[in-house]
Amino acid sequence: APSAQPWRSPGEPRAVFSLPAPRWPVECEVIQETIKHIEWVPAEQEPFCPPTGPEQAPDTLSEEQGTIVYHSSPARQGSCFTRARAGGAPGPLSSPAAPLEGPQDTTLLFESRFESGNLQKAIKVGPYEYVLMLRPDLYTAKHTQWFYFRVQNTRREPLYRFTIANMAKPKSLYSQGLQPLLYSQQDAQSRGIGWRRVGTDIRYSRGGAGELLAFRLSWTVRFPHDSDTCFFAACYPYTYSDLQRYLRALVNDPARSRYCAVQALCCSLAGNTVYLLTITGPGSTAGKRVVVASARVHPGESGSSWAMRGFLDFLLSAHADAQLLRRLFVFKVVPMLNPDGVVVGNSRCSLAGRDPNRAYGAALPGSFPGVWHLQAMVQRVLAEREVVLYCDFHGHSRKNNVFMYGCDAGVDDARTRLSQRLFPLMLSKNAPDKFSFASCKFQVQKNKEGTGRVFMWRLGVSHSYTLEVAFSGSTLGRRSSHFSVEDLKSLGRLLCDTLLDFCDPAPAKVCSDPAQGVPMPQDCGDTGAVPQVQQCLAEADALLRRQMGHEPGSGGSWSDVSPSELESRYVTPCHPVSPHGA
């Protein structure tokens, strides 16, 4: 890591004076083109395609029976990361794509040597059919889920079939109607249309003979134009450079920069800055509680960055609720914990070749600097003031909707168990068409002890959550459609709404109703939010009682019930209410 890394002051940020170009491992070739996409929201929701279930993908020819038309693999990749430089490998670039034989050659030209790209190989097995291989996370042999690549030399009329032959997970939302994303450069330039869902005959299945540990994703598509430049992606890309452009605009904005400081929490293994944003209102911070948020510890979960973008957009806006939040709290936000993984197109790991979200508590600064400095920063904050909430933004590839994981770890106190469920329940009320309280879980499993959510809870952050955003979309209410970028950004605003409802500025004492064993706020004053807290606490108690076969209001206690028993049944969440301030 660079010598400028502040090892002697763990968790203490330093000022950012520049936004340098991304740094890559020296074995990675990088094209010089700047890849940028316009933001666009379709006029109508994009419905899921008819689910295919666990059907076998159509038979495709093997590599030996086809022609390799693209092969990009890091040169001289060793077993571990050694060094990095801006722009990646020095010297002239190789030519991984097979050259066209003439204007009548319809072979697609593939490319992925750009930020977050990860296509390793393309094999042409038919006139318009290709088998694709994704590059595993660097310095590993696994974790193939995220994909992002470019194709050129398209034809408008033919029906193309693409099959990614080395997907890693046995279950996927592609079996439930999820479609890949397509971006047409011609459509973006001439019609202002950005990323959109495409694909028919989508199959997700176990690979054939000799591919027992791999799974296949297959889809057909027609391109919108001849001779177009198009991109495919698993989710809306959000690169490290996208974040830097956002931060540059923020720093140069006289209004927003008054209440947001952009600093360097640390440097990554490759020397990329892990940014820390401190957001609060002007004046003294004495007595203010702290909210900590982070995202993109898993680089392939790009939807979490769009939700984080919405969170920051709202917090930094002139909205009255945003001003109130800045007056009440200090926000510590790390929008991209694993920039190296995002740069190189990993799905899950950092350049240490391991999952950073299993390294909390045991992380060394030389292996997981982002995680190490984040946990050190939270420890420093906790020594001075209360951290009222920690939220780690993630994406989910196997479950629809948005939901949360929390912590109760078998605590035998009814008030604690209800309290853990209160924030997600209130968020489900504010986002009834996106957030599923029924999908939330609160167990602390042994293999999750190294996650940010559990570690922060063990430190003393009483409300510590993982926010999971589906790669697909929502099945709630009348929806059965994909999330748009605007849907993802709206989650950030809804999280802020819920935080105001949850931590209303009016003083409220919480005591227990001896007849029910339920914590009940009192001294509500004239605000609407605290009665909502009271309502949600009562409803959470009623939900849990019904789960265990007890009638609401019947008295007794369920505090001796284990978390696994609480989550073994499922109850539809309570009726939605209007968001705070709406």
Residue 241 phi/psi, 5-degree rounding, is: -65, -35
pLDDT of residue 445: 84
Q: Give the pLDDT confidence of 320-368 residue by residue, as tens digits.
A: 999 999 999 999 999 999 999 999 999 999 999 999 999 998 868 889 9
Instruction: Kindly report which listed range (5-9, 147-151, 309-313, 419-423) carries the lowest average pLDDT score.
Output: 5-9
Once rounded to an integer, what is the mean pLDDT over residues 230-241? 98
CB atoms within 10 A of CB 455: 24
Residues 144 and 273 in one domain: no
Contact of 390 with 458, CB cutoff 8 Å: no
Least confident of 45-49, 277-281, 437-441, 530-534: 530-534
Return the closest-CA partner of residue 30 out of 108, 99, 98, 85.
85
Is the model more confident about 12 or about 297? Answer: 297
Integer Cα distance of 447 and 444 in angstroms: 8
The pTM assigned to this predicted structure is 0.87
Report if residue 512 sits inside a domain.
Answer: no
Per mean pLDDT, which range of 52-56, 168-172, 190-194 is the poorest?
52-56
Query: Which pair of structure tokens corresponds to residue 16?
Result: 């950012």
Q: What pLDDT score does 538 carry?
A: 73
The predicted structure's pLDDT at residue 211: 56
pLDDT, tens only, 502-555: 987 544 433 333 333 333 333 333 334 455 666 776 776 676 666 655 555 544
Q: How many CB atoms lie within 10 A of CB 105?
A: 11
Question: Are 391 and 284 in the same domain?
Answer: yes
Domain match, 169 and 248 both: no
Instruction: Annotate 187-214 with b (16+ C-beta within 10 A) or e (fewer).
Output: bbeeeebbbbbbbebbbbbebeeeeeeb
Express as a percent the part of the chain with pLDDT over 90. Answer: 70
Q: What integer pLDDT is reported at residue 508 of this predicted model?
A: 40
Predicted pLDDT at 498: 96
CA separation for the pair 212, 168 (Å, rounded): 10
My answer on whether 283 and 390 are in the same domain is: yes
Q: Which of 243-252, 254-263, 531-540, 562-571 has the lowest mean pLDDT?
A: 562-571
Specify the number of domains making up the chain.
2
Q: Got the DSSP string for 215-226?
A: EEEEEEE--SST
CA 339 to chain CA mean position, Å: 13
Residue 440 pLDDT: 95
pLDDT score recorded for residue 564? 45
Q: Report the pLDDT value the prediction gives residue 50, as an integer from 0 to 100.
A: 87
Asked about 44 being catalytic, the answer comes back as no
Task: Determine the pLDDT at residue 523.
Answer: 33
CA distance 270 to 351: 8
Asked whether residue 389 falls in the same domain as residue 273, the answer is: yes
| Enclosing H/E stretch for 304 | helix 303-315
The angle at the Cα of 22, spanning 18 to 28, to the nearest 5 degrees, equals 160
pLDDT of residue 522: 33
304 neighbors 469 (Cβ within 8 angstroms): yes
Instruction: Assess if residue 338 is contained within a domain.
Output: yes
Closest CA to 58 of 2, 113, 125: 125
Would you state the pLDDT for residue 212? Answer: 55
User: Rg of the chain over CA atoms, in angstroms?
Assistant: 24
Supply the range of the domain harboring residue 443. Answer: 240-503
Give the C-alpha separation, 144 to 254, whole Å.
42
* CA pair distance 442, 453, nearest whole angstrom: 11
- Reduce the DSSP state of residue 93 to 3 states and report it: coil
> What's 160's domain CATH number?
2.60.40.3120
Round to whole Å and give the CA distance between 567 and 569.
5
pLDDT at 503: 85
Domain check: are 174 and 277 in the same one? no
**Do the Cβ atoms of 49 and 179 come closer than 8 Å?**
yes
254 pLDDT more than 70: yes
* Strand order from edge to edge, sheet including 181-184: 109-111, 148-152, 230-233, 181-184, 196-197
Give 447's pLDDT tier (boundaries 50, 70, 90): confident
How high is the pLDDT of residue 91?
A: 84
Q: pLDDT-based confidence at 18, cuts 50/70/90?
A: confident
Residue 449: CB atoms within 10 A of its CB come to 14
Mean pLDDT of 147-160: 98
Per residue in 189-205, pLDDT (tens digit) is 999 999 999 999 999 99
Q: Residue 574: which pLDDT band, with cuts at 50, 70 and 90?
A: very low
568: pLDDT strictly greater than 80: no
Residues 245, 229 within the same domain: no
Q: What is the pLDDT of residue 179?
A: 98
Whether 524 is in a domain gets the answer no
CA distance 339 to 24: 10
- Quick one: which H or E segment has residue 231? strand 230-233
Can you list the alpha helix ranges (DSSP code H) found in 383-484?
Answer: 414-430, 452-459
* Tens digit of each residue's pLDDT (9 = 90 or more) over 378-395: 999 999 999 999 999 999
- Choose, from 129, 301, 468, 539, the residue flagged as catalytic: 468
What whole-number percentage of the chain has pLDDT above 70? 80
pLDDT at residue number 535 = 72
441 and 309 within one domain: yes
Give the residue from 234, 261, 290 where a domain finishes. Answer: 234
219 vs 334: CA distance, rounded Å:
36
Task: For residue 465, give the H/E element and its range.
Answer: strand 464-470
Q: How confident is the model at residue 186 (pLDDT cuts 50, 70, 90)?
A: very high
Kindly state whether residues 307 and 176 are assigned to the same domain: no
Query: Mean pLDDT in the chain?
Result: 85
The CATH number that applies at residue 294 is: 3.40.630.10
Contact 248, 232 (CB under 8 A): no
Per-residue confidence (pLDDT) for residue 561, from 0 to 100:
45
pLDDT of residue 409: 62
Is the pLDDT at 567 greater than 70, yes or no? Answer: no
Pairing of strands 509-513, 230-233: unpaired
Q: Which of 174, 200, 234 is the last residue of a domain?
A: 234
* Sheet hosting strand 387-396, strand order edge to edge: 14-15, 260-267, 273-279, 329-334, 289-295, 387-396, 464-470, 402-405
Judge if 199 and 245 occupy the same domain.
no
| 145 conformational bin, left if phi > 0, alpha if psi -120 to 50, beta if neither | alpha
Q: Is residue 145 part of a domain?
A: yes
Question: For 66-112, how does the pLDDT look when each residue is reduced to its tens digit (9 = 90+)?
Answer: 999 999 976 566 789 999 999 999 988 999 988 999 999 999 999 99
Query: Which residue do the tokens 């917090």 mark?
Result: 315
Region 104-130: mean pLDDT is: 97
| Axis crossing angle, helix 414-430 with helix 529-547, rounded to the nearest 10 | 110
Q: What is the mean pLDDT of residues 481-510?
A: 84
Same domain as 316, residue 230: no
What is the bridge-based pairing of β-strands 329-334 and 289-295? parallel
Region 20-32: mean pLDDT is: 94
Taking only the tens place, the pLDDT of each residue in 299-326 is 999 999 999 999 999 999 999 999 999 9
Instruction: Out of 2-11, 164-173, 299-308, 529-538, pick the least confident.
Output: 2-11
Domain termination site, one of 197, 213, 234 = 234
Residue 575 has pLDDT above 50, yes or no: no
Say what the pLDDT of residue 537 is. 67
Q: Is residue 11 one of the residues assigned to a domain?
A: no
Same domain as 159, residue 257: no
CA terminus-to-terminus distance, the chain: 47
**Could you tell me if residue 252 is inside a domain?**
yes
Q: Is residue 511 part of a domain?
A: no
| Average pLDDT of span 414-426 | 85
Which strand ranges, in their side-by-side order, compose the sheet holding 67-71?
67-71, 119-126, 129-134, 160-167, 215-221, 200-206
Q: Is residue 558 part of a domain?
A: no
- The residues facing 275 across adjacent strands are 264
